[in-house]
Structure 1
Amino acid sequence: MEAVFLTFVFVLAIFLGFELISKVPSTLHTPLMSGSNAISGITLIGALASVKTDSLGFAAFLGTLAVVFATINVVGGYAVTNRMLEMFKKKDQGENK
């Protein structure tokens, strides 16, 4: 019963996330992405805490994998956000001459 309930919640989250993201105007994508990067930073802290376990087996491997993926997500997200913000900056008139 628990697996069916968790699957239902997961599928519901997929549909809800898709509906919410598709309704966001393009001018709000950058602030939304910055907020998502902050949440990924919290995920990174949780992943670091999970690596600190006493067991050196599968849990430590999954914790290390979580740290790697969360780091990639945070760094890549901030790089994309920075690039998007560069698009909104005004170009200097002196550079075109």
Structure 2
Amino acid sequence: MNAIVVSITLFILALLIGIEVIGKVPATLHTPLMSGGNSIHGIVLVGVIIVAAHADTPLALVFVGLAALLGTINVVGGYVVTERMLEMFKPKKAVAKQSDDADAAKAEK
């Protein structure tokens, strides 16, 4: 079989399996799952580094840059979502104290 046909078939199968798995996740677990998945997306950045070593055309370099940009946004977004999610589980006093400390630090500058 042609390599492109195999690649497209694998992509479609992975897409269908991913939709099926994510569709069965309860709403209460969706945010932790997605935030962990986004942080694990850093593997894409490793792939970008490997592919960048073999990129020799301008189009390949554009795709490598785009992949690096989108992968980085996804990783940072995963950590931001995780931090915001963890803030929900902190006691109200601890959150208020942190905001007071942040206000004091801004006032000193």
Q: Please indicate, yes or no, whether the TM-score normalized by the shorter chain is above 0.5.
A: yes
1:28-67 equivalences under 5 Å are: 28-53=29-54, 55-67=56-68
Structure 2 residue runs of 5 or longer lacking an equivalent are: 97-109
The aligned counterpart of 2:70 is 69
Moved >6 Å (runs of 4+): none
TM-score, structure 2 normalization: 0.65
Question: Comparing both structures, which one devotes a greater share of its residues to helix?
Answer: 2
- The RMSD of aligned alpha carbons is 2.6
Q: d(CA) in 2 for partners of 1:9 and 1:56? A: 26
For 1:63, the aligned partner's letter is V
CA contact 2:45–2:72 (8 Å) conserved in 1: yes
Q: Which structure is larger by alpha-carbon Rg, 1 or 2? A: 2
* Unpaired stretches in structure 1, ≥5 consecutive residues: none
How far apart, in 2, do the equivalents of 1:80 and 1:67 lie?
20
User: Normalising by the residue count of structure 1, what TM-score does the alignment of the two structures yield?
Assistant: 0.71
SS state at 1:67 partner: helix
Question: Percent of aligned positions with the same letter in both sequences?
Answer: 50
